[in-house]
Amino acid sequence: MTRIVHLNGDWLPEAEAKVSVFDRGFLMGDGVYEVTSVLGGKLIDFEGHCRRLDRSLKELGMPNPHTDDEWLALHHEIVRLNDIGDGSIYLQVTRGNGGDRDFMYPNPPVPQTVVMFTQSKPGLAQNPQATTGLKVISLPEMRWHRRDIKTVQLLYPSMCKMAAKAAGADDAWFVEDGAVTEGTSNNAWIVKDGKIITRQLSNDLLHGITRASVIRFAKEAQMEIIERPFTIEEAQAADEAFITSAGVFVMPVVEIDGKKLGDGKPGRVATRLRELYLDESLKAAM
Ligand code: PMP
């Protein structure tokens, strides 16, 4: 089955969707994106992703090309056209084709480029890694200081995922001024004496949508959440660790910089939060 993608209002076979070489997303990384998971054909945490998209666009001085209802209809249509059961929907909005290469934004503004595509991932919620856990390494934080904006500038995270793989690990956590900011493509958490700890929101990290939902569900379940920075040493001495993202939901971490946490198996709290997140977000799926 040929993948059908969305480009500026059209539905096209992927090979026919073409974007200009002068698109600012391509030349300048001048664009933002969102990834929404699909389980059983339904969108997980869609409203959160829509709100963050709007915020990212505002922070970069771009209008939102669609209303939330229009975005929802586009998401439902791309799920239908590609017959997605489990998987994800990627959407990207760039400042568009300025007609030439120029650091200055096009003035007057030009139409933005809107791209959407699906990735089919059957069994997404049954990821076997959830039963074995991930190994992470720490690497220096070298991204720009507006990590709260979900831009398409992903080169450093990409380099770090490669470095993690080369080191025999699954992923990397970034460290700045002695504390963990977040993972390459996920938020970082530890658990100590039943307390669930994750860094507070700021420009230093992406405001994860899964993070926000996990905090809400955990509080509703009377679990204690503390939002503050933590060091790698503290994480290595924690009872448990895990990451959250739309792609992996809640995923246990069992080793940090070669040091096993506890018995080296996914922790009870991380496993419980994964179940809680999947149950609750499926109930609210659209
Ligand atoms: N931090 C970074 C740097 C990310 O790329 C992501 C994934 N987009 C996250 C955190 C997790 O965010 P979310 O839960 O919204 O997927």
- For residue 27, the surrounding DSSP H or E stretch is helix 24-28
CA distance 270 to 48: 22
135 is a catalytic site residue: no
271: Cβ–Cβ under 8 A, 6 or more apart, which residues?
130, 252
**Would you say the CB of residue 186 lies under 6 angstroms from ligand 1?**
yes
Where are the domain boundaries for CATH 3.20.10.10 in the chain? 129-283
162: Cβ–Cβ under 8 A, 6 or more apart, which residues?
none
Are 239 and 192 a contacting pair, CB within 8 Å? yes
**Would you say the CB of residue 170 lies under 6 angstroms from ligand 1?**
no
Pull the structure tokens for residue 117: 């595509």
Give the number of the atom of ligand 1 that is nearest the alpha carbon of residue 212.
14
Q: Which of the listed residues 160, 185, 209, 248 should we mutate to test ligand 1's pocket, taking the one with most ligand atoms within 8 A of CB?
A: 185
Note the pLDDT of residue 128.
96
DSSP count for the chain of H helices, then E strands: 8, 15
Q: Which of the listed residues 119, 187, 243 should we mutate to test ligand 1's pocket, taking the one with most ligand atoms within 8 A of CB?
A: 187
DSSP for 82-149? TT-SSEEEEEEEE--B-SS--SSPPSS--PPEEEEEEEE-TTGGG-THHHH-EEEEEEE--S-S-TTS
Homologous superfamily assigned to 129-283: D-amino Acid Aminotransferase, subunit A, domain 2 (3.20.10.10)
Which is nearest to 134 in space by CA: 189, 194, 213? 189
**Would you say the CB of residue 185 lies under 6 angstroms from ligand 1?**
yes
**Would you say the CB of residue 36 lies under 6 angstroms from ligand 1?**
no
- Residue corresponding to tokens 């910089």: 257
Give the number of the atom of ligand 1 that is nearest the alpha carbon of residue 48.
15
Strand, helix or coil at 62?
Answer: coil
Are 36 and 44 a contacting pair, CB within 8 Å? yes
CA distance 185 to 157: 7
Note the pLDDT of residue 1.
83
List the residue whose alpha carbon is closest to atom 4 of ligand 1. 185
Pull the structure tokens for residue 59: 């922070």
List the residue whose alpha carbon is closest to atom 1 of ligand 1. 186
Q: Which of the listed residues 211, 245, 250 should we mutate to test ligand 1's pocket, taking the one with most ligand atoms within 8 A of CB?
A: 245
CA distance 261 to 259: 6
Where are the domain boundaries for CATH 3.30.470.10 in the chain? 4-124
Q: At the topology level of CATH, where does 4-124 sit?
A: D-amino Acid Aminotransferase; Chain A, domain 1 (3.30.470)
DSSP for 156-208? HHHHHHHHHHHTT-SEEEEEETTEEEEESSSEEEEEETTEEEEPPPSTTS---
CA distance 207 to 28: 23
Average pLDDT along the chain, 286 residues, taken 10 residues at a time:
96 98 98 98 98 98 98 98 98 98 98 98 97 98 98 98 98 98 98 98 98 98 98 98 98 98 96 98 97
CA torsion 193-194-200-205 (nearest 10°) is: 90
